[in-house]
Structure 1
Amino acid sequence: MAKRREVLSLVVATLAAPAFAQSPKPIRLIVPYPPGGPLDIVARALAEKVKDSLGTVIVENKPGAGGNLGADLAAKAAPDGATIVMGAVATHAINPWLYTKMPYDALRDFTPITGVAQVPNVLVMNPETADKLGVKSVADLVAYAKKNPGKLNYGSGGNGSAGHLAGEMFKAQAGVFMVHIPYAGANPAQLALLSGQVDLNFDNLAAASANIKAGKLRALALTTAKRSAAVPELPTIAESGGALAGFDIHTWFGLFGPAKLPADVTQKLNKAFVEALAAPDIKARLATLLAEPIGGSPEAFAAFVKAENAKYEKLVKASGAKVE
């Protein structure tokens, strides 16, 4: 009888145990952009990498409103670690100043977990145009632009896009005027540059690299403060010195949870993803995208996001770009 009572007690205890003790609740990782892009690719690689430490991580693509739709879903989720989002420079630094109506506060409604990766942007010219104008460097470009105000133009993926704002930052710091020509997306902007419809673009390095290698585009400089390990021979705009010495603008993305995410949950997520980012296979995957891992503590990422948010407030307002 005693043995029977022990078995019954064990059965009762098992049935009474919380469901998540037997089957942990999957983590929902929202990617606020369509499948197949850099954020989606990296999110899926990380989800596979952290499954041993965090359990199942399900990647969900929720595109719309420039990333705002997916980010808002995470902002309004329960702060229990079951929903996180792969936010980016657009969702947390540009959009808050670009959109007249935002469904969330980019700083107050999220808990930063860790930076994931950054991808440099690159100043590229149509080679025929560069040769015709005698432009071989950033210094040459600035000199020509100062002598010929308004004669140069640059394309971008649209008003308020990363390429547009990089161009506005360049104009402001270099003290030059170039005409901005917005297109309906980064691909049409690149096609316009390749065909000579525009003189230069501030493009994503990963998107421009194939045409640079093929000689169809001429890369003058990276827009980041430091050179990239992917193209160590390519200088930065900042290296041209003078007013451009502090030039630094790039594409980045990282992980966020809802506001008021408990500290222990934040630390557990941070540890798992930072360790994943340090793994050789994840580094290799990022390298194929010409991206560099960020990692770091939640506090460091929070400070970085706050600084980026403030930087883009000035840039967006100076550009006059708005999305209703």
Structure 2
Amino acid sequence: MTKTLFSRRRVLAGAATLTTAAILPRSSLADWKPTENVRLIVPAAAGGSTDVMGRLLAAHLQTAWGQSAVVENRSGGGGTIGTSEAIRAKGDGHTILIGNPGPNAIAYSIFKNLSYKADQLQPVSNMIRIPNIVSAHPSTGIKSIPELVAFLKANPDKLSYASSGVGQSPHLTGAWFLQLTGLKMTHIPFRGAGPALQAALAGDIQILFDNLFPSLPQVQSGTLNGLCVTTTERSSSAPNLPTMRESAPELANFDVSSWFGVFLPKSAPPPVVEALNLQVKALLERDDIKKNIASMGARADYGTPQQFSDFVDAETKKFAGIIQKEGLQMDVQ
């Protein structure tokens, strides 16, 4: 978490020093431009990765388009409150949503009283993907996924795992791991990543499923044993950690990440969608942004609107399968 907050402070401090020439869009990007102030709705609190990416994009768009671009944090309901607000806005390009797996893939299956549907949003492009990470308390002696699998086979129901909350990406990462291996662990949900990490560090919970940060510094310091990352590729921030899919044949298709992308209301016309998509591409191609992304342990993941739409659809179906098998149903709080 500290590293993410540091990245956000650096982004905000550096934005004022950027020269216009450094981020001028190519002429092809100027076919459509906003005619009034632009709102970027971040359905999460300030300081996290969703917020960081929203502010990076806002600073870029403000210079590229010559209009004020302001981030509005609308947290609550697992991201569904801010998402609902974005859906109700006009699709004229002046309201942009920064999305993530919670409200834009998981919510459709887990919430019984969700107020919106996937087809009310127009995916524009993903921006970044960050792995989840699996770690173990050193007292377990477990240092790899094969060792975890072997221990669970020999000692059913002896271990528990922590996550940042029921239905969150780390929880579903653990659930999918257990579904694919046919093993059992008791899930202990916490109210956020911080308390889950503290429980794991104290040894109260033996296994932790978490976003890459804040767990990675604890793995690097040796206070937790890193077992794997959950994306298809190893993380440049932790190149010695194998991927989940490297670890066992039944995990060969495992791929879970925290991703942060851009959406518009479904009514947005194609010129608006295309103009914003190309600005996202321009943002991710900047050297200063590449450095910021790397400091977050992330990788850039630009795509066309169709590619991002296909990705979000696949993510929604993947999480729906996990949720259905777990029998998870919740109400939006």
Q: TM-score, normalised by structure 2?
A: 0.87
Q: CA deviation at 1:209?
A: 1.5
Q: CA deviation at 1:172?
A: 0.9
Say if 2:64 is the partner of 1:53: yes
1:138-189 Cα deviation digits (max 9, x unpaired)? 1111011111111111011121111111111000111211111111222111
- Check the 8 A contact 2:284/2:290 in 1, yes or no: yes
Q: CA deviation at 1:38?
A: 1.2
- Check the 8 A contact 2:143/2:226 in 1, yes or no: no
Identity of aligned residues (%): 36
| Cα distance in structure 1, aligned partners of 2:125 and 2:79 | 19
Match runs of 1:1-324 below 5 Å? 24-55=35-66, 56-105=68-117, 107-129=118-140, 131=141, 135-324=142-331
Segments ≥4 residues shifted beyond 3 Å: none
Q: Which amino acid in the other structure matches residue 73 of structure 2?
A: N
Q: CA deviation at 1:136?
A: 2.4
- Residue in structure 2 matched with residue 5 of structure 1 by the alignment: none
Q: Secondary structure at the match of 1:251?
A: strand
Where structure 1 has 5 or more consecutive residues not aligned to the other structure, the ranges are 1-20
- Check the 8 A contact 1:84/1:257 in 2, yes or no: yes
Q: CA deviation at 1:53?
A: 2.4
Q: CA deviation at 1:22?
A: 12
Q: Secondary structure at the match of 2:259?
A: strand
* Structure 1 residues 160 and 23: CA distance shift in structure 2, 3 A: closer
| Cα distance in structure 2, aligned partners of 1:231 and 1:283 | 17
- Residue in structure 1 matched with residue 28 of structure 2 by the alignment: none
Q: Secondary structure at the match of 1:295?
A: coil
Deviates more, 1:141-150 or 1:42-51: 42-51
Q: Secondary structure at the match of 1:302?
A: helix
Q: Which amino acid in the other structure matches residue 95 of structure 1?
A: A
- Check the 8 A contact 2:34/2:94 in 1, yes or no: no
1:199-257 Cα deviation digits (max 9, x unpaired)? 10111112212211221111011111111122222110100131111111111110000
| Cα distance in structure 2, aligned partners of 1:22 and 1:299 | 21
Where structure 2 has 5 or more consecutive residues not aligned to the other structure, the ranges are 1-31
Q: Which amino acid in the other structure matches residue 125 of structure 1?
A: A
Q: Which amino acid in the other structure matches residue 63 of structure 2?
A: D
The Cα RMSD (Å) is 1.6
Q: CA deviation at 1:23?
A: 9.0
- Check the 8 A contact 1:81/1:265 in 2, yes or no: yes
* Structure 1 residues 228 and 22: CA distance shift in structure 2, 3 A: closer
| Cα distance in structure 2, aligned partners of 1:108 and 1:123 | 33
Aligned length: 299
* Structure 1 residues 22 and 242: CA distance shift in structure 2, 3 A: closer
Q: CA deviation at 1:322?
A: 2.4
- Check the 8 A contact 1:29/1:86 in 2, yes or no: yes
| Cα distance in structure 2, aligned partners of 1:280 and 1:192 | 38
Q: Which has the larger radius of gyration?
A: 1
- Check the 8 A contact 1:86/1:254 in 2, yes or no: yes
| Cα distance in structure 1, aligned partners of 2:190 and 2:46 | 22
Q: Secondary structure at the match of 1:108?
A: helix
Q: Secondary structure at the match of 1:50?
A: helix
